[in-house]
């Protein structure tokens, strides 16, 4: 009997390195052509969209002990490992800083755009180059489900927004933060790229739940460096509150997600991809 395909995956960010939301059936750590993923993948029993029970995969982005800094995460191996299990939809979680005064700490942002300011994370391409469309980085269907469920739970959610992805692990300088804000970008994060793109490259629907811990350093006049004692304690308190909110959100979002890819990752006909992969003749 063929092994059951796992269609849905959750990538847990900071604060969600350990999976205790759904019952775990088994754990796997597949070796991919890009190496091993960040950590063991928990295969969990989750509610299905039709009130049945199904399996979903949970992958800790930073490993279970949060030992991997943002720039050291094996993003390609993570996506390849999930793809090998049959995953077609990914719900990701992350924490972020606000670049807009209207986006408050403890708010939820479901971004629809990103700006990449990282480097050295996508140098090891496998095979010939492929030019994939990335105008809309995030799956609109998953985003809609996330926003609807969040509003049902009375969570303050911002539908859309641009996340600027910085290299990390350091935070922004005040000048950098002010520049980000002046561009009209919404939140700042360290892990959305290239994770989001590799999901697109693999034909997997992808969207993220970004919980806001604080205002970035260039936004709030009272913000100081994290070492400022009481400020750090306040941020940590919000961080733990966000984690609990994310867990409740996942319990409500997962049953509303179908098993099928919505098609947002394949806007061009299959012939385009064959040509891009060199499967058709021609010298152009």
| Strand blocks (E) in the chain | 8-12, 24-28, 41-47, 53-60, 89-98, 108-110, 113-116, 157-159, 162-165, 187-189, 205-215
Residue 214 annotated as catalytic: yes
Active-site hit among 126, 216, 234, 259: 216
- DSSP sequence for 38-68: SSPEEEEEEE-TTS-EEEEEEEETTTTTT-S
By DSSP bridging, strand 205-215 and strand 108-110 are antiparallel
Active-site hit among 20, 63, 107, 214: 214
Bridge partners (DSSP) of residue 59 are: 11
Residues 38-72 as b or e (16 or more Cβ within 10 Å = b): bbbbbbbebbbeeeeebbbbbbbbbbeeeebebee
Distances (CA, A) of 173 to 124, 136, 205, 211, 266: 29, 29, 33, 21, 38
- Least Cα distance to 132 among 261, 281, 260, 268 occurs for 268
Residues 157-174 as b or e (16 or more Cβ within 10 Å = b): bbbebbbbbbbbeeebee
- Least Cα distance to 207 among 269, 254, 151 occurs for 254
CA 63 from chain centre, in angstroms, equals 15
Residue 20 annotated as catalytic: no
- Least Cα distance to 185 among 256, 127, 98, 266 occurs for 98
Catalytic residue ranges: 214, 216
């Amino acid at each position: 009997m063929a092994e059951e395909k796992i269609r849905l995956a959750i990538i847990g960010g900071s604060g969600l390195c350990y999976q205790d939301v759904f019952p775990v059936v088994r754990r796997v750590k597949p070796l991919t052509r890009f190496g091993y993923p960040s950590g063991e993948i928990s295969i969990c029993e989750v509610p299905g969209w039709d009130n049945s029970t199904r399996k979903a995969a949970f992958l800790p982005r930073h490993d279970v002990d949060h030992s991997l800094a943002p720039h050291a995460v094996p993003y390609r191996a993570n996506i390849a490992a999930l793809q090998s299990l049959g995953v077609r939809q990914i719900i990701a979680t992350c924490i972020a800083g606000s670049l807009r005064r209207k986006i408050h700490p403890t708010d939820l942002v479901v971004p629809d755009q990103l700006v990449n300011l990282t480097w050295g994370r996508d140098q090891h391409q496998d095979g010939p180059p492929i030019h994939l469309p990335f105008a809309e980085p995030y799956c609109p269907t998953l985003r809609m489900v996330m926003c609807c469920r969040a509003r049902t739970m009375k969570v303050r959610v911002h539908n859309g927004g641009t996340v600027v992805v910085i290299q990390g692990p350091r935070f922004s300088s005040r000048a950098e933060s002010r520049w980000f804000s002046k561009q009209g970008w919404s939140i700042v994060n360290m892990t959305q790229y290239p994770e989001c793109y590799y999901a697109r490259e693999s034909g997997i629907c992808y969207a993220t739940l970004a919980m806001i811990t604080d205002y970035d350093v260039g936004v709030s006049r009272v913000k100081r460096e994290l070492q400022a004692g009481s400020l750090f304690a306040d941020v940590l308190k919000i961080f733990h509150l966000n984690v609990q909110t994310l867990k409740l959100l996942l319990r409500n979002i997962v049953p509303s997600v179908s098993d099928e890819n919505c098609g947002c990752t394949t806007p061009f006909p299959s012939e385009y991809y064959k040509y891009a992969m060199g499967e058709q003749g021609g010298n152009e």
